[in-house]
Amino acid sequence: MNLNSNKYSNNNSDGDFERGLLLDTKPKTKKPSMYNVLLLNDDYTPMEFVVMVLEKIFNKQQEEATQIMLHVHKNGVGVCGTFTFEVAESKCKSVLDMSKKFEHPLQCTMEKN
Ligand code: TYC
């Protein structure tokens, strides 16, 4: 690039347009990474409590909440939702707070999608 040319002013004929310095062609927004929130099975947390957690924290209807709970009960782990990092983190904290409050060992974690 010559001395009189930068991204704010330039003397060259059309090179900066061709390289996209003067006229951006791509939007600058990026999609956020998404995270699955996972519920883990255990032998002690009551099924009804897990269903209640899925209804209250993950806004599931009773039927879907029951299906997710039974999936976790049978398979050991299951996805209850997919969110941006901060929302996933907040949902996990809510599950752990509620489990602690009711003295259940229910565990929750998150993974990058
Ligand atoms: N396995 C538990 C029981 O038999 C039920 C349960 C389901 C616990 C899902 C945790 O994430 C869980 N009472």
CA of 52 to the centre of ligand 1 (A): 12
Q: How far is 108 from 95, CA to CA, in rounded Å? A: 7
pLDDT tens for each residue of 37-87: 999 999 999 999 999 999 999 999 999 999 999 999 999 999 999 999 999
Looking at mean pLDDT, say which of 8-12, 21-25, 38-42 comes out highest. Answer: 38-42
Q: Are 49 and 104 in contact (CB under 8 A)?
A: yes
**C-beta of 45 in contact with ligand 1 (< 6 A):** yes
Its pTM stands at: 0.79
**C-beta of 107 in contact with ligand 1 (< 6 A):** no
> Is 63 or 28 the better-scoring residue by pLDDT?
63
